[in-house]
Amino acid sequence: MSRLTHLDESGAAHMVDVGHKAETQRRAVAQARVLMQPETLRLLLEGGHAKGDVFAVARVAGIQAAKKCSDLIPLCHPLMLNAVDVSFTADEASSSVLIEAGCSVSGKTGVEMEALTAASVAALTIYDMCKAVDRAMAIQHIVLQRKEGGKSGTWQRDQQEL
Amino acid sequence: MSRLTHLDESGAAHMVDVGHKAETQRRAVAQARVLMQPETLRLLLEGGHAKGDVFAVARVAGIQAAKKCSDLIPLCHPLMLNAVDVSFTADEASSSVLIEAGCSVSGKTGVEMEALTAASVAALTIYDMCKAVDRAMAIQHIVLQRKEGGKSGTWQRDQQEL
Amino acid sequence: MSRLTHLDESGAAHMVDVGHKAETQRRAVAQARVLMQPETLRLLLEGGHAKGDVFAVARVAGIQAAKKCSDLIPLCHPLMLNAVDVSFTADEASSSVLIEAGCSVSGKTGVEMEALTAASVAALTIYDMCKAVDRAMAIQHIVLQRKEGGKSGTWQRDQQEL
Amino acid sequence: MSRLTHLDESGAAHMVDVGHKAETQRRAVAQARVLMQPETLRLLLEGGHAKGDVFAVARVAGIQAAKKCSDLIPLCHPLMLNAVDVSFTADEASSSVLIEAGCSVSGKTGVEMEALTAASVAALTIYDMCKAVDRAMAIQHIVLQRKEGGKSGTWQRDQQEL
Amino acid sequence: MSRLTHLDESGAAHMVDVGHKAETQRRAVAQARVLMQPETLRLLLEGGHAKGDVFAVARVAGIQAAKKCSDLIPLCHPLMLNAVDVSFTADEASSSVLIEAGCSVSGKTGVEMEALTAASVAALTIYDMCKAVDRAMAIQHIVLQRKEGGKSGTWQRDQQEL
Amino acid sequence: MSRLTHLDESGAAHMVDVGHKAETQRRAVAQARVLMQPETLRLLLEGGHAKGDVFAVARVAGIQAAKKCSDLIPLCHPLMLNAVDVSFTADEASSSVLIEAGCSVSGKTGVEMEALTAASVAALTIYDMCKAVDRAMAIQHIVLQRKEGGKSGTWQRDQQEL
């Protein structure tokens, strides 16, 4: 752990060269959590269509954001995602929605940023759709849960971390 | 607080009509925090150019993301931002970087989502540039701090909330 | 009806100057129809969540496409939409889904292209989600139904046309 | 034909995983038709430069739209097109312009949506450039004509269909 | 001339606040020149349709680039262009093509960057279409020719400059 | 040198088919130069953070533009860049900043346009950040310096050219 890979010796940013890396199957899973008032969660969950629509809109936003990752994060490489999925779990105990986003690629570089971006934008979309009733919502704990593939192999988040 | 404004009576999502709203000066400020290992923070802060460059890249990413907000968040209105600023404060006590993003507009709708998007993408960019040395970093507490302008006027986050 | 407004005297394309036009409330409504096998329509309509999700995805795609109109159609002006809505009506008699997209703006130029683009992309999204079971679907009759506002005022499609 | 591939068992949308699919040469051809008043078609066709420019603008719009397909259609995979071509045939008998768009790729997933998107956006661009003289134009019969490559092999539209 | 307006006192970049500025009619005209081998220019100019198409493609690219300016240039404000035009003049004496791009807006900030971006991207597009026959082409002298409107009023380039 | 490859026999533009081309390691380096008043160059260079920030912003803009190349240049193929770097050299003798941009890919088509686009947009970004103090700056000599890989192999610009 000596220096940041996205900076050259002079400290200038660049896109790290991945030309020599092998193309392998890679996958990453990220999470985010949106905390809200219990009443807000109730509104999100009630009704049939409504529930479908709020999560459906946030899911599409997350999927589309994964595809835009290299346009959002300046030093990310463009890549061709094989799959993206975004799921939502309402947790009434903590009055929150847990978002989990998974991305897969056959490529030279990992998809951690794609999964984190998908989870973040899905969370922001839920915020947007609920903000008129609950401005104080907070997006918490956007983290990488797991990555597979590539030279460094599998990494699994230790639940005690941070 | 009866139903979500982005859903019509049948539960279908739509872009809320803002045609009747007055054009006023609006501003919003959002925050996010990136928690990392003390050693990672030290790498971020050391050197002169390097420090400038990591935060400079994240700042540009945040500013650009504010302008892309309506492309990322499906029901957001396109708008013409008057100003965007993104600042970073390293906090060695909590081993984290605090990000604050502010957006202004003369418009019919607020810029809360633009400020939240700028803070989120700046945080993701810091994650990206440091992930090779610290995969377990967490983005915490993406929240709206303050909004001004529009019919509902000024709102300031109560520091006790969430 | 002497020449096309998007071409100058030499035949070169340009974005027509709208600087002198008044900013008025404008609205446009467009339609499209996706014809499919009765079995495909049944799959689209069956179940609760599934139905919500297919139309929800196509609705988001249509709304987002309305916002991208000036990026897609080379001589369209960028504008700040006040509202976009997209609705779907399943018509078992003709084994088709009717899409209606409405866009509003307070601006110097109309939103016909935004409404037509929203309807078209919503139709393409339905095609995409059903193509594995029915490649021969056809998108039919993408038309402007109505426009309001601007110097030429209200125009309503004559149902006998074309 | 049991369920839609873009929905999982719970009805939630996702990008179908193509990681296991072979990379093959694939091609798709789509068509669309723009019906207009005979006088509008005459304006489109008259003159030398003018004709070139209207179709040239619509051709560029179609080609660019093919490249934007995965940004427009939420569950489409990003892919690296090998070739795109868009051609126009004026048909005075039916007072229409026939658009044909072809896309090719060496990839894991087909290019049907890219070809359909190219044809649709080329059609919308013709509508845009002629709408000042003929608002009632209709875009008809956007269909897939042919696909080649991939596990399902070649498919050719039966001219009797729909 | 004391410091750069896009940097705050600490040297950090930000989008300059234009909220207090008046909305006025603004226009800017920029130029660029593509130098090439005489044989390349001859290929560009020969034929009827071909000529139309090369310049038509470059014209569309320039117009579209003007609309993307705030996405390309990090500290540019989004704005709603009233008009964009791009023209080409072949100059056999200097074996070059002169590109002139004009942009207009009713806005709080000028359109110099939009005009310069349109001219640059039109020049790059000509390079792209001719590079297979002439890799050594050079794009020269991308300059602002004139600006009108705003607090600083009209500015006209002195032909002796640079 | 018989005809332009981006035009078919009828003169219509198309994306050249690269399906049959081999995937090889390719690299291209392009340059651009921004001429300015000596006082403007002094402002750019003075201070520590400020200098870092201006070039850091322009560097990010150049890197991001390389990734947007196929969206800007109509007939360019989308591709997955392996690496992008952008560097700046201040030259007080000629009162200019020299920009050099390099792009690499493992692909079927070269990255000349990506490198030229990165250099051009980095130059435009410097212009934008300095234009308030020096409107007459000129971007000069955007050229390809070198290309490697592909069927035509290595090409190096002859410094006497143009």
Q: In total, how many domains does chain B have?
A: 1
Query: Helix, strand or coil for residue E53?
Result: helix
Owner of token pair 């219990």: A38
Instruction: Report the 10 Å Cβ neighbour count for B134.
Output: 17
* In a domain? residue E19: no
Query: F95 touching A, CB under 8 A?
Result: no
Task: Render pLDDT for C58-85 as a digit per residue (tens, 0 to 9).
Answer: 999 999 999 999 999 999 999 999 999 9
- In this prediction, residue E5 has a pLDDT band, given cuts at 50, 70 and 90, of confident
F 52-81 → D contacts, CB under 8 A: 70-71, 74-75, 77-80
Evaluate whether F77 touches D80 at the Cβ level (below 8 Å): yes
d(CA B123, CA B143) in angstroms, rounded, equals 13
In what helix (H) or strand (E) does residue A142 lie, and over which residues does it extend? Answer: strand A138-148
Q: Which residues of D are catalytic?
A: 128
pLDDT for E152:
86
Question: Given C48, C57, C64, which is nearest A56 (Cβ)?
Answer: C57
Residue C37 in tokens: 């096998």
Query: In chain B, what residues touch F64 (CB-CB under 8 Å)?
Result: 64
Task: Render pLDDT for E82-136 as a digit per residue (tens, 0 to 9).
Answer: 999 999 999 999 999 999 999 999 999 999 999 999 999 999 999 999 999 999 9
For F69, phi then psi, to 5°, come to: -55, -45
Query: In chain C, what residues touch E105 (CB-CB under 8 Å)?
Result: 19
Q: Do the bridges between strand B24-35 and strand B96-107 make them parallel or antiparallel, or are there none, so unpaired?
A: antiparallel
E143 forms beta bridges with E31
pLDDT for D54:
87
Query: Helix, strand or coil for residue D136?
Result: coil
In what helix (H) or strand (E) does residue A54 lie, and over which residues does it extend? Answer: helix A49-67
For residue E86, give the CATH number of its domain. Answer: 3.30.70.640
CA atoms in the 13 A half-sphere facing the CB of E145: 16
* In a domain? residue B7: no
* C82/B13 touch (CB, cutoff 8 Å), yes or no: no
Looking at per-residue confidence, does C129 or E162 come out higher? C129
Task: State the smallest CA–CA distance between residue F156 and chain E in angstroms.
Answer: 9
Looking at per-residue confidence, does B46 or C85 come out higher? C85
Amino acid type, D134: D
Query: Helix, strand or coil for residue E80?
Result: coil
In what helix (H) or strand (E) does residue C39 lie, and over which residues does it extend? Answer: helix C38-45
Instruction: Report the 10 Å Cβ neighbour count for B57.
Output: 27
**ipTM of model:** 0.95
- In this prediction, residue D121 has a pLDDT band, given cuts at 50, 70 and 90, of very high
Evaluate whether E86 touches E64 at the Cβ level (below 8 Å): no
Compare all CA atoms of chain D with the CA of F8 and give the residue at the minimum distance.
Answer: D85
* F15/D63 touch (CB, cutoff 8 Å), yes or no: yes
In what helix (H) or strand (E) does residue C75 lie, and over which residues does it extend? Answer: none
User: Which residue in the list B53, B71, B91, B128 is annotated as catalytic?
Assistant: B128
Of F148, F72, B57, D131, whose CA–CA distance to E72 is shortest?
Answer: F72
CA dihedral A16, A18, A20, A26 (to 10 degrees): 140
* F56/B53 touch (CB, cutoff 8 Å), yes or no: yes
N- to C-terminal Cα distance for chain E?
19
- In this prediction, residue F6 has a pLDDT band, given cuts at 50, 70 and 90, of confident
pLDDT for B8:
81
Looking at per-residue confidence, does D3 or E118 come out higher? E118
Query: In chain A, what residues touch B48 (CB-CB under 8 Å)?
Result: 11
Evaluate whether C158 touches C145 at the Cβ level (below 8 Å): no
Residue F59: pLDDT above 80? yes
Which of F59, F71, F84 is the best residue to mutate to test the A interface, defined by the most A CB atoms within 10 Å of its own CB? F84
Query: D42 touching A, CB under 8 A?
Result: no
pLDDT for E36:
97
Q: Is A3 exposed, middle or buried (0-12, 13-18, 19+ CB in 10 A)?
A: middle
pLDDT for A2:
53
Query: In chain B, what residues touch A65 (CB-CB under 8 Å)?
Result: 72
Q: Is the dihedral of CA F18, F20, F26, F28 positive or negative?
A: negative
Task: Render pLDDT for A47-89 as a digit per residue (tens, 0 to 9).
Answer: 544 445 889 999 999 999 999 999 999 999 999 999 999 999 9
E32 forms beta bridges with E99
* In a domain? residue E13: no
Owner of token pair 């990992």: A110
Residue B52 in tokens: 């400038």
pLDDT for F137:
97
* In a domain? residue C45: yes
Q: Which domain holds residue C124?
A: 24-149
Owner of token pair 């198409």: E53
Query: F134 touching A, CB under 8 A?
Result: no
Average pLDDT over residues E58-66: 97
* In a domain? residue C84: yes
What is the rounded average pLDDT for all residues in chain F?
Answer: 91
List chains touching C (3+ CB pairs under 8 A).
A, B, D, E
* In a domain? residue D123: yes
Compare all CA atoms of chain A with the CA of F71 and give the residue at the minimum distance.
Answer: A71
Is the pTM of the predicted complex or chain greater than 0.90?
Answer: yes
Question: Given E8, E74, E108, which is nearest B64 (Cβ)?
Answer: E74
Task: State the smallest CA–CA distance between residue F24 and chain D in angstroms.
Answer: 15
* In a domain? residue D15: no
- In this prediction, residue F53 has a pLDDT band, given cuts at 50, 70 and 90, of confident
Query: In chain A, what residues touch C61 (CB-CB under 8 Å)?
Result: 60
Query: D89 touching F, CB under 8 A?
Result: no
Amino acid type, C48: G
CA atoms in the 13 A half-sphere facing the CB of F95: 12
Contacts of C114 (CB under 8 A, 6+ apart): C28, C66, C67, C69, C79, C81, C84, C103, C105
A6 is in an annotated binding site: no
Give the largest CA-CA distance in chain D: 57
For C126-141, b/e burial (b = at least 16 CB within 10 A) is bbbbbbebbbbbbbbb
Task: Render pLDDT for D6-62 as a digit per residue (tens, 0 to 9).
Answer: 888 777 889 999 999 989 999 999 999 999 999 999 988 875 444 458 899 999 999
* B123/A142 touch (CB, cutoff 8 Å), yes or no: yes
Q: Is F149 left (phi over 0), alpha (psi -120 to 50) or beta?
A: left
How far from chain centre, in Å, is Cα D4?
A: 22
Question: Given B25, B81, B87, which is nearest E77 (Cβ)?
Answer: B81
d(CA B81, CA F91) in angstroms, rounded, equals 36
DSSP track, chain B: --S-TTB-TTS-B-BPP-TTS--EEEEEEEEEEEE--HHHHHHHHSSSHHHHHHHHHHHHHHHHHHHTHHHHSTTPPP--EEEEEEEEEEETTTTEEEEEEEEEEEESS--HHHHHHHHHHHHHHHHHHHTTT-TT-EEEEEEEEEEE-STT--EE--TT--
pLDDT for F162:
56
pLDDT for B139:
98
Across E36-157, where does the E strand assignment appear?
A: 81-91, 96-107, 138-148, 155-156
Query: E22 touching F, CB under 8 A?
Result: no
pLDDT for B47:
52
* In a domain? residue B155: no
Task: Render pLDDT for D82-97 as a digit per residue (tens, 0 to 9).
Answer: 999 999 999 999 999 9
F130 is in an annotated binding site: no
d(CA E151, CA E149) in angstroms, rounded, equals 7
